[in-house]
Amino acid sequence: MTTTPDTIRHVRLSTATLPLATPISDAKVFTGRQRPMTEVVFLFAEIRTEQGHEGLGFSYSKRAGGPAQFAHAAEVAEPAIGEDPSDIAKIYTKLLWAGASVGRSGVATQALAAIDIALYDLKAKRASLPLAKLLGAHRDSVRTYNTSGGFLHAGVEEIKDRATASLEAGIGGIKMKVGLPDTREDLRRVSAVREHLGADVPLMVDANQQWDRATALRMGRRLEEFDLVWIEEPLDAYDAEGHADLTRRLDTPIATGEMLSSVAEHVHLIEARACDIIQPDAPRVGGITNFLRLAALADHAGLELAPHFAMEIHLHLAACYPREPWVEHFDWLDPLFNERLETRDGRMIVPDRPGLGVTLSEQARAWTTDSVEFGRS
């Protein structure tokens, strides 16, 4: 049997603003570096081929950067028209060079991520396979933990209640934020939550880059007694040397990587042995093409994996990592999509729908603020 090569006929880029029910604060807000987060801005790419196959991908930004991601994608996307949608790396490289003047990291690659992810979604749908199966999965479900209940704007009682609700919903672990100006208050909150959960529930903490090296080491030592799964972003995201030092000196595993926006930056972390658990974010590093590149290097270096945010994408990618990973459960994006991911017995189930297994909701269309189209509709 032979197949006829397909070509990309139409690309639609759109941007939508998702409002959050409650303003969100982590340590970056308490140290005065950022304002509470009230919305997340998305860049969607919808791609259609001559043979009628379709793909959906997205990128996102918090607090600022959404208009820049949309503008950059709109500037460089046109050369994708007429390409074979299966040649994802070729298309990615072509669009990357179209915008190379502004770099191969940050906003430039995040703009391309939506297109890259849409091409993978399309390829998997064309093969009638879930994305994880197209890539080659190690498992049909992934351990999952909840973050959205443990922010710093929430009091301990609220965190405990939301943790209980998460566990009852089949989510396996609980992450809470630390990094308050008063470190003793951090320890009191972690102690109260650990006591509430008991010894057997996996618990993680996330300092969102707000400790200096001395505080991180001191806090890391005091946190050892709580048997944490990991301490996340104890230091500035670009302090690979400091993270490496903590990784050597503490028994509790160190996790970081969510803020990095290129393969090269992740390679620096990996080569410095800066963490035990690497936390790449596919939309932030430029899509699935780049995620797979750095995941291969991380596995080779013996690191564990816990991708950041965007569970709709990362569930599939985590399912393909050789070492048992974690995926972060955030229900914030639920209003954007018609489908829901299932959690059971502490794990998130890879959907059996083709591709990513999500379609844009009417609400996502209603929240759309701008769009641009290329090719023939």
Cα Dmax for the chain? 68
Distance CA 85, CA 65 (A): 27
Q: How far is the CB of 257 from Mg ion (least distance, A)?
A: 9
Binding site for Mg ion (CB under 5 A): 206, 232
Place of tokens 């914030």: 332
Helices (H) and strands (E) in the chain, counts: 14, 14
Q: How far is the CB of 147 from Mg ion (least distance, A)?
A: 7
Q: How far is the CB of 303 from Mg ion (least distance, A)?
A: 16
Catalytic residue among 133, 177, 266, 329, which? 177
Q: How far is the CB of 335 from Mg ion (least distance, A)?
A: 22
Q: How many residues does the chain have?
A: 377
Which C-beta is closer to Mg ion: that of 206 or that of 239? 206
Which C-beta is closer to Mg ion: that of 91 or that of 231? 231
Q: How far is the CB of 206 from Mg ion (least distance, A)?
A: 4
Active site includes 268?
no
Catalytic residue among 308, 314, 316, 329, which? 308
What backbone torsions phi and psi does residue 250 show, to the nearest 5 degrees? -105, 150
Active site includes 177?
yes
Which C-beta is closer to Mg ion: that of 25 or that of 289? 25
Query: Under DSSP, is residue 131 helix (H, G, I), strand (E, B) or coil?
Result: helix
Q: How many CA atoms lie within 13 A of 36 on its CB side?
A: 12
Which C-beta is closer to Mg ion: that of 116 or that of 206? 206
Distance CA 5, CA 135 (A): 20
Distance CA 65, CA 108 (A): 11
Distances (CA, A) of 193 to 14, 52, 110, 201: 41, 51, 36, 10
Q: Which residues contact 71 (CB under 8 A, 6 or more apart)?
A: none
Minimal CB distance to Mg ion: which residue?
A: 206
Catalytic positions are 177, 308
